[in-house]
Amino acid sequence: MIIPKESSMQEPRRLACPRCGTEFGCDLSGTCWCAEETARLPMPVKGEDCLCRECLRKAAAAGAAE
């Protein structure tokens, strides 16, 4: 009997943005769309997970304005 190897590729997480509720995927393998953003990315605030692209851009713009 051959035991199949576990795949080293993880499926993207399915998330809902904590700010607007938009559903999106987060690829933990390092190829997530957020790595493509040119803005200096804000860290999530306590109790938040990843933000959708639009909310992430708004948070980055607000942080740059401060």
Please tell me the predicted confidence (pLDDT) of residue 4: 54
DSSP type of residue 65: H
Confidence bin at 66 (pLDDT 50/70/90): confident
Please tell me the predicted confidence (pLDDT) of residue 54: 92
What tens digit of pLDDT does each residue of 11-46 get? 778 889 999 999 988 876 767 777 777 766 666 678
Please tell me the predicted confidence (pLDDT) of residue 59: 86
Is 3 contained in some domain? no
Q: Is the pLDDT of residue 63 over 70?
A: yes
Is 6 contained in some domain? no
Residue type, 54: E
Is 19 contained in some domain? yes
How many structural domains are present in the chain? 1
Q: What is the domain extent for residue 36?
A: 13-40+48-65
What is the C-alpha separation between 9 and 6, in angstroms, rounded? Answer: 9
Please tell me the predicted confidence (pLDDT) of residue 3: 59
